[in-house]
Structure 1
Amino acid sequence: MVDISSIDNQIKSLELPIERDQFLRTMIRELAGTLQDVVGIEQAEGFLNVVGYRTGQHVNHIYQNALQLSNLSRNQVTAVLIDWKRRIQGDFYVIEETDEKIVLGNRKCPFAEQVEGRESMCVMTSNIFGAIAADNLGYARVELQDTIARGAQECKIVIYLQPSEELDFTAQEYFKA
């Protein structure tokens, strides 16, 4: 008969690069990559749009409840976006904030190296930012100008707060639900 406790102890003592955060990032990366490979990047982004938008609504409600507010101001929206990313190990900061737009930079992706080559994962950020901004300010159009996933050193994200006559097909529009 095999002594399972000695095998169990041997396995438990292994130092392996396996932990929950890394596992979840890898799962999302592989999901995004599989979607990109099977249905194409546009369709993959479509699926991830839905997930990101619903997540954005959830995150928005968490902050609204914690602040005991039904609606956040522009400054509060900016602070929430930065705080939320900080809490998930991103490093976002304000480049510019006006009544027309919020421009954020990011030095560290919460998905870490898992985001490289998986541009469709960036739509999660776009949708979460868009959902939070639009639900509180009435409208948002999010443009991912630079992303770490596309090989940039940092991300640059512009959240336009006013509709524009100029159509920009690289940006996604969001409206208050």
Structure 2
Amino acid sequence: MSGHDFSQISPVFFLQTFILELMHACEQEGGDYCESLIERIAKSAGLYFEQTYRDEYQRIGELGNEEYIDLILALKNHIGGNFSLASVEAGTITVVNSRCPFGDGVTNFPELCRMTSSVFGGIAARNFGYAKVEIRQSIAKQNGGCEVCIHTRRDSAVDKPGLEYRREDQPEEKQEMAALHSRIEERMRNVWWSLPKQHAAKPAPAIIAKSPAMQKVLQQVEVIAPTKATVLINGETGVGKELIARAIHAMSDRGHKPFVAINCGAIPESLIESALFGHEKGAFTGAIEVHQGFFERAEGGTLFLDEVDALSPAAQTRLLRVIQEGEMERVGGKHTLHVDVRIVSASNRSLEQHVEQGSFRQDLFYRLNVVRLWIPPLEQRPEDLPHLVQLILKR
């Protein structure tokens, strides 16, 4: 392997290759199946991209025209496109593109235009209530460039060809959301029932997601879970950060492996390294036997680090090494242990502020913050409150 040079393989090129090979694999199922698969992936991914934009710019409420345009152009250009705004008229936004993010191979799979349509249309429908995406020209159809019109009003879309998208509160979207909620809860129950009897005897954890805000979180979970990326969950105390971490674990291919949760703020600083990484016999006074830490106990599965901002500087350094190298030593140990653990961390505070104050390593923050989820507070989820009360009373 050392003789190969992969320096020219960028993440974007890797993704392009993956998508095109996926299309080859789907060819035998027919064009309709391909388009349906693409639309499902794109709509879920579009929701995640929008939430990432909102988190970065602290946007609450519906996006306006300028914000929507900024989002879709930045998104497409970041993955290799050359999109620009052509015009904005009453109810219609037109963008053009001279370079396809999927490369020259897109001419073999014009169905990939469905991805652009679903991302643009899904985001527009959530913020404007309605969208029809009209692809007038397409590189995939060898037109030399792309021209895409996003109609955000029904009157501007009359007699225009294209795919229609509606806000999530439409009946069909509600059914899809209910199905997603059921899939996640079923996977969580299966994981819970596979635990030792003393745990499985307790009621399985349940996510209340009647509010649009929490439904968006579940859609993000569906996109994030199958990846290997570290996840940082932010939100106030009591909003359900551990529940969402359990959902990510259950929906991933690690669901049959351990899920280990630790509250870093509840462990004394003098013991946190031993708790996380274990210790050897005689490592310190009172270490009368070898102790396996949380990383070893979570091998192959997911480790949830709540209140990760409470980690000591020494523990932060050790954690960074585990993420970067996939290896560690127990406290007082000389032998390197290799670990395969996905890390999901959480905090009710701003880690950026801790970084600025010098109490949290910047390089560790970047490693933990590959994917970010924000759980909205209860005052932004009024639809969830009656169901939460019922759940509490039952328990």
CA separation of 1:21 and 1:100: change in aligned 2, threshold 3 A: closer
Query: Which residue type is aligned with residue 92 of structure 2?
Result: K
2:159 is the counterpart of 1:172: no
Alignment pair present for 1:107 and 2:98: yes
Is the 1:26–1:114 Cα contact (8 Å) retained in structure 2? no
Bigger shift: 17-26 or 77-86?
17-26
Instruction: Please report how far the alpha carbon of residue 138 of structure 1 lies from its aligned counterpart in structure 2 after TM superposition.
Output: 1.3
Name the counterpart of 1:50.
40
Question: Which residue in the other structure is 1:129 paired with?
Answer: 120
Structure 2 counterparts to residues 23-172 of structure 1, below 5 A: 23-35=14-26, 37-70=27-60, 71-164=62-155, 166=158, 168=160, 170-172=161-163
- Give the % identical residues: 27
Contact map agreement 2:94 2:150 (CA 8 A) in 1: yes
TM-score, length basis structure 1: 0.84
Q: 1:19 to 1:162 in 2, by over 3 A?
A: closer
Quote the Cα distance in structure 1 between the aligned partners of 2:54 and 2:47.
Answer: 10
Q: What is the deviation of 1:19?
A: 5.0
How many residues are treated as equivalent by the alignment? 166
Structure 1 stretches lacking a partner, 5+ long: 1-7
TM-score (norm 2): 0.40
Deviations 1:55-86 (A, max 9, x none): 11111111112121122101210111111112
Deviation, 1:21, is: 3.2
**Contact 1:140-1:173 at 8 Å conserved across structures:** yes
Change over 3 Å in CA distance of 1:172–1:87 after alignment to 2: same
SS of the residue corresponding to residue 108 of structure 2 reads coil
| Larger relative contact order, structure 1 or 2 (CA cutoff 8 Å, min sep 6) | 1
Shift >6 Å, 4+ stretches: none
| Deviation, structure 1 residue 38 | 1.2
Deviations 1:102-146 (A, max 9, x none): 111001111111312111111111111111111111111111111
Shift in Å, 1:27: 1.8
Q: Considering only CA atoms, is the larger Rg found in Structure 1 or Structure 2?
A: 2
Answer yes or no: is the 8 Å Cα contact 1:72–1:136 preserved in 2: yes
Determine if contact 1:146/1:156 at 8 Å carries over to the other structure.
yes
Gap change, CA 1:154 and 1:136, over 3 Å in 2: same
How far residue 91 of structure 1 moved from its aligned partner, in angstroms, is 0.6
